[in-house]
Structure 1
Amino acid sequence: MPELENKSNDAAVGAAFNDFMRAFEAFKETNDDRLDQLERRSAVDPLIEEKLNRIDRALDDNRRVVDDMALKAARPAIGGEAPRSAASLAHRSAFDNYVRKGESGALADLERKALSVGSNADGGYLVPVETEHAVNRALRDISPIRAIASVQQVSGAVYKRPFSISGPVTGWAAETGERTQTTAPKLDALSFPTAELYAMPAATSTLLDDVAVNIDEWLAEEVRIAFAEQEGKAFVTGNGTNKPKGFLDYTTALNSAWEWGKIGVVETGVSAAFPSSDPVDKLIDLVYALKAGYRANAHFVLNRSTQSLIRKMKDADDNYLWQPSVNAGEAPTLMGFPVAESEDMPSIAANSLSIAFGDFRRGYLIVDRIGIRVLRDPYSVKPYVLFYTTKRVGGGVQDFDAIKLMKFSAPG
């Protein structure tokens, strides 16, 4: 039966992906008509524009459906990855009794034996490890920045690390030649505090009494989207106060005047737009503003409306800059680099930083404190039972040379 179900899922994903590819071909054909009309008479039939916009919206909707189906098909069941220890099974059973019935004695005993710091009846109880892994895996799947950034797990409230701004002096010398003394590298002390992220799903007594419902899966499903939306926004625009510091919140500087501690920007030269002549050149400038060592693993990050505009652009060889993924669930590409679509990126406007490009694995660090806690509240909103679920997350730029931004502004 599982094999038949997997085949059915694969067939559904394949059919949805084929629909998406047909929509993209229709988009290219309609956009070619639009460009042809612009070349011939400097105006476009409004019906062509309307059709193109309709197909563009359908293209995004189809791709989202394909990606969601591919993620669901690839997602393993909670607890199905590896055999669990006796302690893990005991914790899961005790947690299940706490969530369903409010019985906390066994769970408190287990955490006391494990010396779990900060896990008590007032602060909530740690969820089973499998549930924590399921939530974090789901966050990675649906949070665009988490999917491309570095992630560090910590046991404390703050993660500190030195970062080498400039390496030590090196050189070549003959086997018996004199070596000059090298200088020490310049280090910057980076600190990434974690802040509390919470969600409060509600359940009915009927759901909790239903033994056929997997409580771990229900809880993971309820909190993953809420967590992903909040942290996704913070990783992009967060101000660092009781939340991660987003890469758009750092001081910027023209890339020609870039210095450590700032994010380099490339200006389009036109306020709130690409230049009308050779707009592709600005994207090329953005790509080559990044050093070669970072470009190998670089991503574009932009929102849906910006992607829609760029999707209509062609290079000098009449090829579309934006290309769909080859396989379902994979990212589309722009100029050969994968695209991470984040609706938290600003739309194009005067002086907006609407496109990011860089190696986010090296450039942005997400810090997860180990442990997700749940506090059961059957009193506040009767007859519902609330589950105050928290995790601690931090984040910030760790390599200021690894991320570049495009600023839609006039020079100066």
Structure 2
Amino acid sequence: MDINQLHDDWVAKGNRVTDLLEKKIALNEKYNATFENLNDEEKENFKNEMKKASQDYKDAIAARDFAKETFEDAQATEKVTNKKPIQKVKSKEEKIKDENHKLVSNIRNMVTTGKIPKDAETTTDPDGSNAGLTIPEDVQTKINKFIRQFASLENLVSVENVSIPSGSRIYEKLSEIKPLANLDNEAGKIPDNDDPSLVKIIYNIHRYAGISTATNTLIADSDENILSWLIDWVSRKDVITRNKAILDVMGKAPAKPTITNFDDIKDLENNTLDPLIIATSSYVTNQSGFNVLSKMKDADGRYLIQPNVTNPEIKEIGGHLVTVISDRFLPNINGSHPLYFGDLKQAIKLYNRQEMSVMSTNVGGGAFETDTTKIRFIDRFDVELIDDGAFAAASFKDINDVKPGTANTDNTTTKAAK
């Protein structure tokens, strides 16, 4: 405990002594007033209660005195005089408010002076130069919460927070794990297991940066308005940046079957991946591809894509989640829509450096002429392919419905819209 906590502990134990003394006095008054009218059992209970109250009071005095001695020893050690007031310990909420206010003040200071305060928490570029202010943990948490409101692919992949700019990891591919040998003969020799297939993945943290322009009126506004704008801008930009990096890695999937009918999708789901992975797999496509898939019907007229039974806003194919990405970020290739299926958490890992920084100027980059402020944001992460056998990539244009009354997709008469 620090000296303030020791002081509070002493005060709390002193209050308990007072409470127990008042309890003892009240019991004594009741004891004297009613003792002669009680039977033997009630008299015995009264005596036991008085005895316990007296012992509790003695124990509380001892605890209070010990707390007082501990506090006074701490005062002597830290050379605290009785004239020096006890500093109030700030609450978590007060500390967060101070950190946020300090960030905004530092941004304003950079804008007006072009310099970062010496006591500001900063990040450093690889060349040793200052990269800007580090966003406080509370603001960073709000940014992460806000990110989840957008169509972020980050929750589909595995994420690992790292503290160094580069490193390596050893992984075992889940898709290549084989079962133990089945021994029918009780006296049979147990064979050696197949050696696990290990792969070494090297990550190198990349810097992703961008500059946004804010009016100087905004910078002069309240702390809440600046932080709100900062969180909104960083969140949207971060989702787009990380989604693109994830989609670039998804594009490395080896298998690219072309889907032309209903059964091809069932083959992609049932016959492409290891069964160990299928149960945790999901689909990813773009908006125009989802439009085509949403119109597909089986032989009984049932749509391929169905709403989740507990949340109709969630769409599924055969019980597997369907994630839809804008065509702007997941475009068609030569007129074909992309379709991914697999467990992306097993396949892809995002290494998160967790150092978002901000730097600003109201002079450079044309800011002076327009009375605006240029604010630069830098994010650091890397995305790597871990197991290319944990997901598959397909493509499609038109997909034929199943003709009513038949299970053979070769006999088709209707097509889903492009």
| Shorter-chain TM band | 0.5 to 0.7
Matched residue, 2:324: 341
User: Over residues 309-359 of structure 1, what are the superposed CA-to-partner deviations in whole Å (9 max), with x where a residue is unaligned?
Assistant: 111111222211122455669532223321111123332646x46111111
Contact 2:357 2:379 in 1 (8 A): yes
Structure 2 equivalent of residue 91 of structure 1: 99
Distance change >3 Å, CA 328–CA 108, structure 1 → 2: farther
SS for the counterpart of 2:381 is strand
* Residue matched to 1:62: none
In structure 2, the residue matched to 1:364 is 348
Say whether residues 1:317 and 2:300 are aligned partners.
yes
1:117 and 1:169 map into 2 onto residues whose CA distance is 49
Equivalent residue of 2:149, what SS?
A: helix
Match in the other structure for 1:44:
none
Q: Between Structure 1 and Structure 2, whose CA radius of gyration is higher?
A: 2
Residues 363 and 402, structure 1, Cα contact 8 Å, conserved in 2: yes
Aligned to 1:290: 273
Q: 1:375 to 1:359 in 2, by over 3 A?
A: same
Q: Report the equivalent of 2:289.
A: 306
Two-structure CA RMSD over aligned residues (Å): 3.3
Give the CA deviation at 1:386. Answer: 1.3
**SS at 1:109 equivalent:** coil
Which residues of 2 match residues 379-398 of structure 1 at below 5 A? 379-380=363-364, 381-382=367-368, 383-398=371-386
Change beyond 3 A, Cα 1:370–1:104: farther
CA deviation vs aligned residue, 1:241-262 (integer Å, no higher than 9, x gap): xxxxx211x2xxxxxxxxxxx6
Match for 1:155: what amino acid?
Answer: S
State the SS of the aligned residue for 1:263.
Answer: coil
Shift of 1:145: 1.9
Q: Which amino acid aligns with 1:109?
A: D
Is structure 2 residue 211 aligned with structure 1 residue 196?
Answer: no
Which amino acid letter does the alignment assign opposite residue 238 of structure 2?
F
2:362 to 349, 362, 378: 378
Partner of 2:263: 281
Distance in 2, matches of 1:389 and 1:366, equals: 19
**What percent identity do the matched residue pairs reach?**
21
Amino acid at match of 1:287: E
What SS does the corresponding residue of 2:238 show, helix, strand or coil? Answer: helix
After superposition, give the CA deviation of every residue in 1:170-202 in whole Å (9 maximum; x if it has no partner).
446799975444454231101222211123222
TM-score (norm 1): 0.63
Q: Which runs of 5+ in 1 are unaligned?
A: 1-82, 238-245, 251-261, 269-273
Measured after TM superposition, the shift of residue 398 of structure 1 is 1.2
TM-score by length of 2: 0.62
* Structure 2 residue matching 1:201: 3-state secondary structure: strand
Q: Is the 8 A contact 2:165 2:353 kept in 1?
A: yes
Letter in 2 for 1:145: L
Residue in structure 1 matched with residue 255 of structure 2 by the alignment? 264
Contact (CA 8 Å) 1:162, 1:187: kept in 2 or not?
yes
- Shift in Å at residue 127 of structure 1? 0.5
Secondary structure class of the residue paired with 2:280: coil
- Which residue is equivalent to 1:405? 393
Alignment check: 8 A CA contact 1:149 1:365 kept? yes
Distance, in Å, in 2 between the alignment partners of 1:384 and 1:247 is 39
Q: Provide the residue aligned with 2:228 in structure 1.
A: 217
Please report how far the alpha carbon of residue 405 of structure 1 lies from its aligned counterpart in structure 2 after TM superposition.
1.2
Output aligned runs, 1:74-113, within 5 Å.
84=92, 90-102=98-110, 108-111=118-121
| Whole-Å separation in 2 of the counterparts to 1:89 and 1:105 | 23
